[in-house]
Amino acid sequence: RRKTDLATAHEECHTADGVRIEVFANLGRPGDAAAAAAQGAEGCGLLRSEFLFLERLTAPTEDEQAAQYQELADALPNRPLIIRTLDVGGDKPLAYLPLPVEENPVLGLRGVRVSLRYPELLRTQVRAILRVKPLGVCRILVPMITSAHELQAVRTVVEAERQELGITTPVLVGAMIEVPVAAVLSDRLAAHADFLSIGTNDLTQYALAMDRGNAYLAPQLDSLHPGVLRLVAQTVEGARKHGRPVAVCGGIASDPQAAPLLIGLGVTELSATPAVIPGLKAFIRTLTLPQCQEAARKALELANGDEVRALVTSTWQAQ
């Protein structure tokens, strides 16, 4: 079965009734891009740019970053390259950044909060991204957004650097939806964002108040929890008011059991681990939108993730 999946992995992905679903790859370093392309990734839906910043004594320079982003763009020719701005916090110390020691780093200075506190770091990263050729493939994704104000602050930096570099190509700026309030207020965020991408790992952690790394809580920490799915539904609803697309780039996008539900809720882009892309595309091609919508509607009424998974298993036995 894997052989046939691979044979069609490079084609665009549509459901059986013709709904276009883009399937991208999550990448953590440039070296993985070629392998992702070989698996049929239609682009990079989430570049975790932390690889450039961690485990070193000085911040990466603009040149250094630009070279790495260019390598990625070259490995995924003419495909979207969604670069997430630095997402670190007190739990990942950087030698060159005086981050405070916090009692609850996951609820502290992390993601965009760090970027806005150290704007020079953000400015350098943005300038490096703006040097990618062709720039049209790049989109900037901002992690841990809680308010439209934060997104606007990042956009102001992007626009200022674009002007200074004399670049006329517009660059899309999107918000990660990984804080529950961002999902609830997604209509307001969507007014200022070009696209939304749901980070279900953190969204689940914050919605259920369960540490995503806690082994004791792992069995209950399921992104298919109906409460999390309702937040996904709310995100899509808010985005639609402004005609913005919604992607899912959290771990659940790599889980075939989630695909019909996410599609049924109106998600049109999935960014997954490269290895699962051929199978994911093959499964999506067997689905129809009304069937997905019906399952999603039912899932929102269930009690927990286990019940949701049982529903998916009974509807699509093959999975």
Contacts with ligand PEP by CB under 6 A lie at 46, 48, 87, 178, 199-202, 249-250
Q: Which of 30, 43, 174, 199 binds Mg ion (CB under 5 A)?
A: 199
CB of 271 to Mg ion, least distance (A): 12
Question: Which of 186/200 has CB closer to ligand PEP?
Answer: 200
Number of residues forming the site for Mg ion (CB under 5 A): 3
Question: Which of 65/200 has CB closer to ligand PEP?
Answer: 200
The binder of 179, among ligand PEP, Mg ion, none, by C-beta within 5 to 8 A per type, is none
Q: Which of 202, 222, 255, 269 binds Mg ion (CB under 5 A)?
A: 202
Question: Which of 135/228 has CB closer to ligand PEP?
Answer: 228
174 forms part of the interface with Mg ion (CB under 5 A): no
CB of 159 to ligand PEP, least distance (A): 25
The binder of 226, among Mg ion, ligand PEP, none, by C-beta within 5 to 8 A per type, is none
The binder of 255, among ligand PEP, Mg ion, none, by C-beta within 5 to 8 A per type, is none
**3-state SS of the chain?**
CHHHHHHHCCCCCECCCCCECEEEEEECCHHHHHHHHHCCCCCEEEEEHHHHCCCCCCCCCHHHHHHHHHHHHHHCCCCCEEEECCCCECCCCCCCCCCCCCCCHHHCCECHHHHHHCHHHHHHHHHHHHCCCCHHHEEEEECCCCCHHHHHHHHHHHHHHHHHCCCCCCCEEEEEECCHHHHHCHHHHHCCCCEEEECHHHHHHHHHCCCCCCCCCHHHCCCCCHHHHHHHHHHHHHHHCCCCCEEECCHHHHCCCCHHHHHHCCCCEEEECHHHHHHHHHHHCCCCHHHHHHHHHHHCCCCCHHHHHHHHHHHCCCC
